Structure formats: C-alpha cells, structure tokens
Structure 1
C-alpha cells in the first residue's frame, strides 16, 4: 500500500516539533485557518506549506524572504507579481523556477542566463518566440531543444548543425524545404529518418541506399513507384516486402484508373 502524504510526520522545517505558539500566524490556529500536519507554513513538507498559502494567499508576500527555500518557492506561487523581481537572484533554483513560471516577458528576459538549466528550460518554454533566438547557443542541449520546438520557422536553419542529436531531431521535425535538404546527410540515422518522413517524394531517392534500415523503411512507405521498384531489391527482406506490397497496390490502382478512364 502506497504511503499517503498524511503519513509523513509533521516537523518544523528547521527540525524538531512544530511550535504553534511561536508562529507569526498563531491566531489563525484558533480561527481554524491552519492545522499542524494539514496546513502549516512552518512544516518541512511542501504540500502542507502549499495548503497554507492556498488558503491565505494574502500572506504570501510576507514570506518571500523566509529562511526555508520551500516556503519562498511556494509563497512565490501566490504573491502578487510586483513582489517577485527581487527573487530573480534567490540562491535556490526551486524559487527561481517559480518565478520563471509567473514573471511577465520583460522580466523573464532577465532570466535567460540563469545558472541552472531547469530554470533556463522553463524560460525557453515561456519566452515569446521572437525572443528565443537569444538562447540559440545555450550550453545545455535541453534548453536548445526547447528553443528548437518554439523558434520561428525562419530561424530554424540556424540549428541545423547543432552538435546535439536531440536538438537536430526537433529541427528536422519542423524545418521546411529547402533547408530540410541540408539535413539529408546528417550523421545520425534518427535525424535522417525524420527527414525522410518530411522530404518531398521526388527527392526520396537520396535515401534509397542509406546504411540505416529504418531510414530505408520510412522511404519504402512513401516512395513513388519508380523508387519502389528499386527498393523491391533491397538487401533487407522486410523492406523488400514493404516495397513490393506498395508497388502492387500502386499498380492495381493504376489499372483501376485505366479501366475507368
């Protein structure tokens, strides 16, 4: 049986038992506004802290400088936006991640060079597409892959030669001709297979002798009859079978059209 969050002991974030009497919001306890083990901003467990600020968002701004990073991060979810900019320099990335979710574009731009990759990924997910070019050369491949998923199409060719496979895969899925043609000789078969999915049919012969089976398999599923005849003699039995089956379908369709013509 999976343990419930309610089974996690209620402990003060600095260790030891909770002391409601010393809490700055002790009056809430008498009013039923919080409860140890359920909703408490002194607790070490993030879910209970969140319950507290969800019920009392007006108190969040008071705790943006709290000593416990979880309190600061969760308070940042609920505090007014105008209170958040000072936290862009918070020492904990959990806090800065919350800011990357909420800050408006002008301030989000200031977080593009954050020291933590997860923060920069979040920034790349939210930044206006026209501003993403400024993150094209981020040192982390996941940041660049996120940029590639959202970058305006006209700028995608700038990532065609990215050193990372993940980034080039994203580019291959989105880039259009004639830039797509530049990727037919990519060193990774995963990229070439994606290119084969999108390349115009008349250009598919470029992959007819590709060393990777899956690339040729993709080509056999899209090729014109003239190329199918060539793939029907492919060294791989499954590709030959696929090419021959499609060739027969093509011939049957041509015969039906001729009869009705």
Structure 2
C-alpha cells in the first residue's frame, strides 16, 4: 500500500497514528478501533487481528463482540459468561467441544440455537426438550435419525415439520394422526405407498393431495370421481395418466 495517503489532521491523540495509520491499516471514518461504530471496528480488527485479544475486556459490548470473532479461541472462552447476549452469540460461533456444550444452558435463545447448529450430533439430545421451539427446530434438523421418533410429539408444529421431512419413509406412519394438516401432508408425501394409501381418506385436502403422489395407482382410481376437492381429483387423474393407467 505504498500509494496510501493518510487524511489531513487524522486522529491527533491516537497512539496508532504514527504506526498503523501511516501504513494504511486504519483510517478515521473507515477502519478505527476506537470508534463507536461496529462497521469501523470490524474493518480494523479484520486488518489487525493482533489487537483483538486486548479488546475482549473492553467496556463497549460491540467491541467485545467483534473482537470475539478475531481473537484466538483459547482467549475467547472467558467471554462465555459475558453479560451481553450479543457477545455470547459471537462466542458461540467460535467455541467447540466442552466449551461450546456449556452454552446449551445460556439464557439467550440465539446462543442456544447457535450451539445447536454447531454441536456434534451426539450431543444434540441434550437440547431436545429446550424451552424454545427454535432451538428444538435446529435440533430436529440435525439430530441422528434414530432419535427423531422421540420428538414426534413436540408441541410446536414447525418442529414436527422438520421431523416429517427427515424421518425414514418406513417410520412416517407414526405421524399419520398429527393434529396439524401441514405436518400430515409432509409425512404423506414421503410415506411408503401402502401407508400413503391410508392417507387418501384424510379430512384435509392438502394431506390427500400429498398422498396422491405416493399411493399405489389402484388406490387413486376412486379419487378421480369421488374426492370432494377439485385439486385432488385433478392430481389423481394426472398421475394415472402419466403412469399409463387406463
């Protein structure tokens, strides 16, 4: 950066004026460690990571949070109990192993969501009963398939939808009586053919429409004339035609 020209009258009282500024590694209004601007602090620490660790105890929460992204991981651990949740969220993106596992009890949901997104799959059952549905949803996305049946009765439909998307086809019949039609529809659209055939009598047309795509052809013939919903009759007719059925 030999062609860099520092601005006039820059940061007269700053100790970095004669070092980093002259090298183009910081600049007022652009990249500054001491500004109350997250954008400027981030730009500074991205260029000068060696300053990050010294900022971990700074009084300004945003400076600590940004420093946690650039400081050595072994130094970041001490911010796991930081009073500011934004700082702890940044910490959760860096830690691994036992240090990350400790964050599953953090009072902030975003910290726990981040932990659930990064923990080894074997540790995820510890969060299956988290009080926040968004944490459980993240768990449902990543937990080993063998543990998914334990979450089938989760009280939140969005969590059960994740389960319906991931359960093996042979296990989806367990969701046939889910109280939410969208959950049943997701399950019906992935079920084994014989299980899907039983969903053709579901009270909700969305479920029957999804089941049409999986059920055996012989089970669809009656729907073409008897289903009360136009969309279901049309889907059944289209599939029969596409598969060459008379």
Query: TM-score, with normalisation over the residues of structure 1?
Result: 0.85
Please give the residue correspondences for 1:1-261 in structure 2 after superposition, counting only pairs within 5 Å: 20-27=11-18, 28-232=20-224, 233-252=226-245
Post-superposition Cα deviations, 1:101-133, rounded to whole Å, max 9, x if no partner, equal 111222101111111001110000000000000
Question: 5+ residue gaps in structure 2?
Answer: 1-9
Of 24-33 and 61-70, more deviation after overlay is shown by 24-33
3-state DSSP of counterpart to 2:197: helix
* Residues in 1 aligned to 2:158 and 2:244: alpha-carbon distance in whole angstroms: 39
Q: Contact 1:220/1:231 (CA < 8 Å) preserved in 2?
A: no
Distance 1:103 1:249, change over 3 A: closer
Distance 1:103 1:37, change over 3 A: same
Aligned to 1:12: none
Note the aligned Cα RMSD (angstroms): 1.7
Query: TM-score, with normalisation over the residues of structure 2?
Result: 0.90
Q: Contact 2:189/2:196 (CA < 8 Å) preserved in 1?
A: no
How many pairs align? Answer: 235
Q: Contact 2:96/2:119 (CA < 8 Å) preserved in 1?
A: no
Aligned to 1:10: none
* Residues in 1 aligned to 2:242 and 2:167: alpha-carbon distance in whole angstroms: 31
* Residues in 1 aligned to 2:137 and 2:207: alpha-carbon distance in whole angstroms: 22
* Residues in 1 aligned to 2:107 and 2:14: alpha-carbon distance in whole angstroms: 34
The offset of 1:26, in angstroms, is 4.1
Q: Contact 1:135/1:144 (CA < 8 Å) preserved in 2?
A: yes
Distance 1:240 1:177, change over 3 A: closer
Distance 1:162 1:24, change over 3 A: farther
The offset of 1:30, in angstroms, is 4.3
Post-superposition Cα deviations, 1:205-248, rounded to whole Å, max 9, x if no partner, equal 22112121111111222321221012112011221122123223
Distance 1:181 1:24, change over 3 A: farther
3-state DSSP of counterpart to 1:204: helix
